[in-house]
Chains A and B, each alone.
Chain A
Amino acid sequence: MTLGPLLIGIYVFVLAGFVGFEMITKVPPTLHTPLMSGANAISGITVVGAVAAATTAPPTIANLLGLVAIVTATINVVGGFLVTDRMLRMFGKKKK
């Protein structure tokens, strides 16, 4: 049996999905929001693809699409991680 790139990708996708399910079951409700916004920041990983899409300097439509992708994905990443940290900092406060 030889696996082409698509099948390997599907294997990886399915297995990663299971890893996600296993890790997140039994998460306490207190963390639902931070977990969601932290996971949301990770979905900005698409920035890796966006970086490759905006390489050439003369502005073409493909480049412009890539540029907008970088901006939106970076907002997602930076904003997502920062806002999650802000929330979790509040949870960590010590009682007086």
Chain B
Amino acid sequence: MSHEVIRSNLVPIIYLLSTVLFIFGIKQLAKVKTARRGNTIAAAGMLFAITGALLELGVVDYRWIGAGLILGTIIGALFAIRVQMTAMPEMVALFNGFGGIASALVASSVYWSVVVEGGASGTVYDALGTDEAITVMLSILVGGVTFTGSLVALLKLQGRLRKGQPILLPARHFITFGLLFASLAAGGIAVGAGAPDSMVWVLSLAGGALVLGVLLTIPIGGADMPVVVSLLNSYSGLAASMAGFVIGNPLLIIGGAMVGAAGLILTQIMCVAMNRSLLNVLVGGFGVGEGTAGGSDEYTGVTSCGPEEAAMVLENAESVIIIPGYGLAVAQAQHAVRELADLLKSRGTKVTYAIHPVAGRMPGHMNVLLAEADVPYEELLEMDVINSEFKNTDVAIVLGANDVVNPIATKDPSSPIAGMPILNAHEARSVFVVKRSLSPGYAGIKNELFEYDNTMMIFGDAKKVLQGLIGEVKGL
């Protein structure tokens, strides 16, 4: 086959095959039984896509391409193999960033080779075509924002950048919107500028996009990262789509659009689970400087106990619901919690887990963590399913969760978390809250649950407390 035949007939068919594999892959990825196969199918689609891209090029100097592919494969594989399950949110954030910057770089490279190195006379839109010129600028904008936004999210997830607290600049909305318009304007001017003058505008656009990603993410607090990571996931898809417009490849447009949609759906699920709008999350500053509505911050009538006492209650419990939160991930206590659950189950106690949609720092964070500790996923129940069970349950154990079990959300309409769906832990006959101290959760308010008569605090690190409990229950 001549290269022309390959390019115009074989390659498009390979890309179509690849698109179909992506669609099947994502579809199967959304069902527990087929998810692993779905991921493999999508990966096969990617392999076809890269093969198609190499065939499309024909015989060229492959040294750079080969070096890039090999280097990327080694780095990517090392990341994937070495990452701890507790650090999965950071990993996803980082990969989002890489996807975003790659799309921005592809667009920049096209611009550079055609306009700067191609020595185009005329304007940028003469050299690239109007459509392509515009999508080059949009790719750089979206990809750049995704890149630095993801890096800031990564730092926040690691507890750096003021421990993930919101960073609020003065006049930040003014600055952010100003910069967004300035970046768009720079992109617009670049499209219409003469080829030699356009470079400074393209660089301004790139710089503006990178700063914008930082400004958009720093005011958002650590516990809102599930929303931010989902949204950045969506952006990285959008950036890939834009790059598809630049190089005129429908495979990129389709793959990117599907990822963009997936990210948006997850974003929406996270927002609903907090009863907050996306805008409210993105504006940031949640839990900062808000006076606590309805009641003081002071706790009264809090009772606490040690593992011995808790073990005695657990001994007589017929049913136990465990409510994991971010504190479980921080304490790396997933294996200890499984061990306690196994112990209780061997004594005939029914143990299930109640998972709030925003528990942790990423959609599904708790599920991944508990899966690592071999907890069967059938025991992990969603909020809607388990909430009616609490009133028939002997013991609820809250492990490193706070706002998601605060009954004030259902009672006080002036509370910052008013209307947020919560897990009804307070309805259980006894509640144990394992927590380091009485410090407030992300919303910055006190948790009424801690004052309830049926609640006992067990102060300490989740893992140490669990190990204490395991020891006590064994000794019974």
Which residues of A are at the interface with B, using a C-beta cutoff of 8 A?
4-6, 8-9, 12-14, 16-21, 23-57, 60-63, 65-93, 95
Contacts and interface: CB of A to CB of B under 8 A. Distances in A.
B80 A78 contact: yes
A76 B32 CA distance: 23
B131 A5 contact: yes
Contacts of A38: 25-26, 29, 38-39, 42
B229 A70 contact: no
A38 B239 CA distance: 17
B261 to A, nearest CB: 3
B23 A19 contact: yes
A5 B256 CA distance: 17
Interface string B1-29: 00000000000000000000011011101
| Majority SS at the chain A contact face | helix
Contacts of A35: 26, 29-30, 35, 262, 266, 364
Interface in B242-263: 243-263
B399 interface: no
A7 B98 CA distance: 29
Interface stretch (B68-76, B389-397, B459-467): B68-76
B101 interface: yes
Contacts of A85: 36, 39-40, 43
Contacts of B298: none
Contact of A17 (B83, B99, B116, B257): B257
Interface stretch (B274-282, B283-291, B367-375, B420-428): B367-375
Interface stretch (B47-55, B159-167, B170-178, B179-187): B47-55
Nearest to B78: A79
B433 interface: no
B65 interface: yes
A63 B80 contact: no
Contact of A65 (B109, B245, B357, B364): B109
B113 A62 contact: yes
9 closest cross-chain pairs (CB), A and B: A74-B72, A20-B261, A32-B364, A70-B68, A79-B76, A78-B76, A32-B363, A82-B80, A62-B113
A45 B374 CA distance: 33
Interface in B324-359: 355, 357
B250 A12 contact: yes
A90 B126 CA distance: 54
B376 interface: yes
B103 interface: yes
B304 interface: no
25 contacts: A5-B248, A6-B245, A12-B253, A12-B254, A27-B265, A32-B363, A33-B92, A33-B365, A33-B367, A41-B95, A42-B255, A45-B46, A49-B247, A54-B65, A66-B64, A67-B68, A74-B68, A77-B46, A78-B72, A79-B95, A83-B83, A86-B80, A87-B85, A91-B35, A93-B374
B63 interface: yes
B371 A42 contact: no
Contact of B105 (A6, A72, A89, A95): A72
Contacts of B415: none
Interface stretch (B212-220, B230-238, B402-410): B230-238
B110 interface: yes
A75 B75 contact: yes
A74 to B, nearest CB: 2
Interface in B291-332: none
A9 B23 contact: no
B60 A66 contact: no
Contacts of B248: 5, 9
A31 B67 CA distance: 34
Nearest to A61: B112
A33 B253 contact: no
Contacts of B54: 51
B81 A82 contact: yes
Contacts of B106: 46, 49-50, 53, 65-66, 69
Contacts of A57: 61, 63-64
Contact of A40 (B38, B92, B253, B364): B92
A43 B236 contact: yes
B64 A31 contact: no
B451 interface: no
Contact of B57 (A47, A55, A93): A55
A31 B116 contact: no
A48 B249 contact: yes
Contacts of B25: 38, 42
Given A27-B30, A82-B80, A72 B102 contact: yes
Contacts of A27: 30, 265
B200 to A, nearest CB: 15
Contact of B116 (A19, A61, A80): A61
A81 to B, nearest CB: 4
Given A48-B52, A51-B57, A71-B72, A9 B46 contact: no
A18 B256 CA distance: 12
Contacts of B96: 40, 43
A30 B380 contact: yes
A42 to B, nearest CB: 5
B258 A42 contact: yes
